[in-house]
Amino acid sequence: MNTFVTSVTARPDAGRRRLPNGNGIQTTCPGYGQGRSAKCGAQDEAIGAVSHPPVYCSNTTKRGHKLFQYSALEEKLALLSEAEIIFGTPSWMTNVIPRCTNLKWIQSITAGVDSVIKEVTEHKVNADIILTRNGETFVQPMSEHIITLILACNKGLYKCHEQQKQAIFQRRNILAKPLALSSVGILGLGCIGRETARICKAFGTKVWGMTRTTVSEDSKCPNVDEYRTMSDLHEILSECDYIVNILPSTAETRGILSGEVFSHCKMGATFINVGRGDVTDEESVIKALRNKWLQYAALDVHIPEPLPASSPLWSEPGVIITPHMSGGYVGTKNYEQHRAKMFMKQYRRFINNEPLEYVVDLNRGY
């Protein structure tokens, strides 16, 4: 079995390691200085991941798997037809998937996989292909990002910053009610949504959660007070002070918050979007702010990305723009180690014929 790795399972600062078959390799690790060489190796524990392009290879392992070395994407394209597993970023995978005619499993390093689903379905790579997303390494940084924005808006820090630039010392109309008297509506209760609910409950906040279908009592998250489905979106908007979107991009979610949907929001509501930019559009967001349907719109995802300098969102009062950073800083050591550990855990499940975690339903889109 052949494995193609776009995010190298290696730890650049750890010196020589042992491969599963006892071999070590030397590679140039991109993202750690141009031309900087480091001795790396795959290992089942305490490993990290180096950003693409792929530069990692080994000889055949004890289990018969091979990792191919590529100094450039266009080299040795014939080998792609042999690959049964690929692991990497969706932006890179979309160029590779059509050439992987023997593909059995795709492991994404990201939580969102809409572009991968598009490639798999359009090119009909394999009707039985398994696609798994990263359901682990984004949970903590994204939930931290969300609660940071909730606190910043709640405490009026953005208004204070504007006053500071004008040397205005004034408290009026800045502070909001305590979070213990507030409510948060989380659109999408996957692993990130559930962790966000847990953190919000620590502040005493009432948590509403929206799911695609009705959730059974034994499957409900203890930190979610009110469960609703997508058909109840207007009720959630009218009840919650903070609306947090973590929905993926699917046929059901695209445009779900467009038009005049925000007119149903509770007065003074804040919209936080860390899911996908296409759940709404800039015209709808601007209209909601100008009509006072929203007080703030904190946007970490955009259509398109990067957000053009010509976008009116940059200068619209009440808009908070972050450059798709809620998933954390990819250059940190822990981030890379967690990502690679996640893959190795999944890989062991795969070769032992055990069920994989975070399997994506290609029809539903998540």
What pLDDT does 148 receive? Answer: 98
Residue 197: its pLDDT value, please? Answer: 98
Taking the C-alpha atoms of residue 262 and residue 266, their distance in angstroms, rounded to an integer, is 9
pLDDT of residue 56: 31
Model confidence band, residue 53 (pLDDT cutoffs 50, 70, 90): very low
Under 8 Å between Cβ of 6 and 106: no
pLDDT in tens, 115-124: 899 888 887 7
Specify the pLDDT at position 1. Answer: 62
The radius of gyration computed from the CA coordinates of the chain, to the nearest angstrom, equals 23
pLDDT confidence bin for 330, thresholds 50/70/90: low
What does each C-alpha distance from 51 to 210, 314, 331, 364 come to in angstroms?
34, 30, 9, 29
Mean pLDDT confidence for 301-324: 97
**What b/e sequence results for 15-41 when a residue is b if at least 16 CB atoms lie within 10 Å of its CB, and e otherwise?**
eebebeeeeebebbbbeeeeeeebbbb
- Cα–Cα distance, 74 to 96 (Å, whole number): 10
Look at residue 5 in the predicted model and tell me its pLDDT.
Answer: 56
Highest mean pLDDT among 81-90, 111-120, 284-293, 326-335: 284-293
Q: How far apart are alpha carbons 132 and 342 in whole angstroms? A: 11
Structure tokens belonging to residue 102 = 């023997």
CB 232 within 8 A of CB 204: no
The pair phi, psi for residue 270, each rounded to 5°, is: -115, 135
Q: pLDDT: is 63 or 253 the higher one?
A: 253
What is the pLDDT, as a whole number, of residue 20? 37
Closest CA to 186 of 80, 275, 78: 275
H, E, C per residue of the chain = CEEEECCEECCCCCCCCCCCCCCCEEEECCCCCCCCEEEECCCCCCCCEECCCCCCCCCCCCCCCEECCCCCCCCCHHHHHHEEEEEECHHHHHHHHHHCCCCCEEEECCCCCHHHHHHHHHHCCCCCCEEECCCCCCHHHHHHHHHHHHHHHHCCHHHHHHHHHCCCCCCCCCCCCCHHHCEEEEECCCHHHHHHHHHHHHCCCEEEEEECCCCCHHHCCCCCCEEEEHHHHHHHHHHCCEEEECCCCCCCCCCCCCCCHHHHCCCCEEEEECCCHHHCCHHHHHHHHHCCCEEEEEECCCCCCCCCCCCHHHHCCCEEECCCCCCCCCCCHHHHHHHHHHHHHHHHHHHCCCCCCCECCCCCCC
Q: Indicate if the alpha-carbon torsion angle 199, 203, 155, 260 is positive or negative.
A: positive
Pick the range with the lowest mean pLDDT from 175-179, 186-190, 237-241, 347-351.
Answer: 175-179
Of residues 57, 77, 76, 74, the one with CA closest to residue 5? 57
Whether residue 34 is predicted with pLDDT greater than 60 in this model: the reply is no
Q: Give 138-167 pLDDT, tens digit per residue.
A: 999 999 999 999 999 999 999 999 999 999
Amino acid at 142: M
Give residue 102's pLDDT band: very low, low, confident or very high (50, 70, 90).
confident
State both tokens at 318.
Answer: 């009440």
Per-residue confidence (pLDDT) for residue 44, from 0 to 100: 32
